[in-house]
């Protein structure tokens, strides 16, 4: 009898120990660093002070850059939020969806068949908060699919009024930023992943009145006023395609190019203030040092390149695909990294920095070694997509764009771009001189690769056919 009691006692001790072990494994660990991901919509890197811009648009972002890694060659996987956001959150190339991007099909494919950065961190024990600032209801399905794993979510919505976007989004941003600060305060004792997606500086560029005259009349304003003067307006367009200011960016009674750029820059300064508020709260709560902070954009903005103004989407030029990326963490030293990477490499890098396993479904590759200063070859090829209309292939020196079919706007305005566009972006960063005739052999090699990529993507394969692509890369001399 005593023997049975002893065995029962030992069994109870074992069960209790097992319970404590399981509890501790699932309990969020305070030693896990917080992660703050800040996404700004339609932000060009060359309009940030830390990237060399002459206007002081970003003092708080500058601080993060001075304490961490700044990347100069980050390529987004699309020129529009529709495709770019799912790409970097799920670390996959945006496929050519045969159905509409907002359809139930897309929602279920994203939700059920691949893991997101958010889901992984939540399952690891992070408290997840997602705060999205969107004014266009048609985008909601994309974000709903992401929010399946968010503990907190706030989407500010404003209907379009009289054919214009809601023009006081800055008020929504200020209100929601207070809730972001509250989230940090309430979760200071546990590791959190906080994703804040700011709508500014997306058009229309309407910062608070106190900032609207900040850059009016400065040296850059005067130069641009003299060089560009006034532009025409086309209120039938949401996106610029014909050298005119589109409805989506139009600011009443203003046609001056310089004025729009000044408002865009002031809008950046406004959102930089909001980032500064977050930094201040993190410092106040002694969380700043141990928080991994990432600031980036989902795509850029056209400021006259290729005769298109104050909009994005439609094309795959570098003005839209090159995005800023700054990463700050206490173990990072200040450095500028010029190696080319893809924006979808961000999610696996975050997991790598946190010493978490990277799922096989991720197509991006971690660039942690670049941050730590280890020798790492630049990612030679970056692919970007715009639905089933366009695809681009970029190396640090060359860029090939394939215009698969005409967009609706091109059909309406009778614009027919060439089937292929080939640029030496090292010598011609504005992508103005097509070099297909000058480099026919190199063009054909790039063409073969981009055609293979297009075919594999349209057929919804999970990734490129590694073997055939590798052989083509070797023929270019990029892979040994």
Mean pLDDT of the chain: 85
User: Residue 5: which pLDDT band, with cuts at 50, 70 and 90?
Assistant: low
Name, in order, each residue with C-beta under 8 angstroms of 376's C-beta and a sequence gap of 6 or more: 339, 367, 369, 370
Q: Which residue has the tokens 């969806």?
A: 97
What is the C-alpha separation between 452 and 446, in angstroms, rounded? 10
- Among 14, 36, 47, 24, which Cα is nearest to 266's? 47
Give the integer Cα–Cα distance in Å for 223 and 448. Answer: 44
Q: What is the pLDDT of residues 34-69, one digit of tens each?
A: 999 999 999 999 999 999 999 999 999 999 999 999
**Which of 425, 329, 445, 311 shows the shortest CA–CA distance to 36?**
329
Give the Cα separation of 410 and 241 in Å (integer): 8
CA 161 and chain centroid, separation: 28
The H or E element containing residue 322 is: strand 322-328
Beta bridge partners of 161: 164
3-class DSSP state of 423: strand
pLDDT value, residue 465: 39
Q: Cα separation of 21 and 287, whole Å?
A: 28
Closest of 298, 316, 334 to residue 64, by C-alpha: 334
- In this prediction, residue 103 has a pLDDT band, given cuts at 50, 70 and 90, of very low
Residue 226 has which token pair? 């003299």
> Average of pLDDT values for 135-148?
54
Q: Which helix (H) or strand (E) holds 25?
A: helix 2-26
pLDDT of residue 373: 85
pLDDT at 226: 97
Copy the structure tokens of residue 77: 């996987």
Residue ranges in 194-341 assigned as alpha helix (H): 219-228, 257-284, 318-321
Residue 477 corresponds to which tokens in the numbers above? 């001399």
| Assigned token pair, 7 | 């065995």
Residues 58/60/61/62 CA torsion (nearest 10 deg): 80
> What gap in Å lies between CA 448 and CA 451, rounded to an integer?
5
Please give the sequence-ordered ranges of beta strands (E in DSSP) within 48-89, or none if there are none.
69-75
Q: Among 453, 396, 384, 460, which residue's Cα sits nearest to residue 423?
A: 396
**pLDDT tens readout for residues 358-374:** 999 899 999 999 999 88
What residues does 234 pair with on adjacent strands?
246
Q: Is the pLDDT of residue 162 over 90?
A: no
The pLDDT of residue 210: 97
Terminus-to-terminus CA distance in the chain, angstroms?
74
């Amino acid at each position: 009898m005593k023997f049975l009691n002893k065995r029962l006692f030992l069994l109870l001790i074992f069960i209790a120990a097992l319970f404590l072990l399981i509890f501790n494994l699932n309990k969020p660990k305070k030693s896990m660093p917080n992660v703050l991901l800040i996404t700004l919509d339609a932000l060009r890197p060359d309009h940030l002070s830390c990237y060399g811009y002459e206007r002081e648009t970003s003092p708080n972002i500058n601080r993060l850059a001075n304490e961490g890694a700044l990347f100069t060659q980050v390529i987004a996987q699309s020129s529009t939020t529709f495709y770019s956001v799912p790409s970097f959150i799920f670390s996959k190339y945006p496929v050519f969806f045969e159905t509409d991007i907002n359809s139930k099909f897309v929602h279920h494919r994203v939700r059920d068949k691949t893991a997101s950065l958010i889901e992984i961190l939540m399952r690891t024990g992070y408290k997840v908060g997602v705060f999205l600032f969107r004014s266009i209801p048609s985008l909601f399905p994309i974000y709903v699919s992401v929010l399946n794993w968010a503990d907190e979510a706030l989407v500010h919505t404003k209907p379009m009024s009289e054919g214009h976007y809601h023009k006081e989004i800055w008020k929504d941003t200020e209100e929601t930023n207070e809730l972001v600060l509250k989230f940090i305060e309430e979760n200071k004792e546990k590791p959190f992943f906080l994703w804040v997606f700011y709508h500014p500086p997306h058009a229309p560029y309407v910062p608070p009145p106190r900032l609207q005259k900040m850059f009016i009349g400065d040296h850059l304003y005067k130069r641009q006023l003299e060089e560009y003067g006034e532009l025409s307006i086309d209120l039938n367009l949401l996106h610029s395609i014909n050298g005119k200011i589109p409805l989506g960016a139009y600011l009443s009674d203003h046609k001056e190019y310089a004025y729009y750029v000044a408002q865009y820059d002031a809008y950046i300064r406004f959102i930089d203030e909001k980032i500064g508020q977050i930094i201040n709260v993190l410092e106040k709560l002694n969380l700043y040092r141990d928080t991994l902070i990432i600031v980036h954009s989902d795509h850029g903005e056209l400021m006259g390149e290729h005769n298109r103004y104050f909009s994005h989407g439609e094309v795959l030029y570098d003005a839209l695909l090159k995005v800023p990326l700054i990463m700050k963490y206490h173990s990072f030293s200040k450095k500028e990294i010029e190696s080319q990477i893809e924006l979808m490499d961000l999610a696996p890098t975050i997991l790598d920095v946190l010493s978490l396993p990277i799922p096989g479904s991720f197509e991006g590759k971690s660039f942690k070694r670049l941050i730590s200063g280890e020798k790492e070859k630049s990612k030679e090829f970056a692919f970007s997509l715009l639905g089933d209309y366009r695809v681009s292939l970029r190396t640090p020196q060359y860029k090939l764009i394939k215009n698969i079919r005409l967009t609706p706007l091109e059909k309406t305005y009778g614009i027919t771009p060439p089937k292929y566009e080939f640029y030496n972006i090292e010598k011609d960063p504005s992508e103005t001189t097509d070099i297909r005739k000058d480099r026919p052999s190199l063009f054909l090699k790039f063409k073969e690769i981009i055609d293979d990529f297009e075919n594999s993507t349209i057929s919804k394969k999970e990734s490129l056919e590694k073997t055939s692509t590798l052989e083509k890369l070797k023929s270019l001399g990029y892979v040994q």
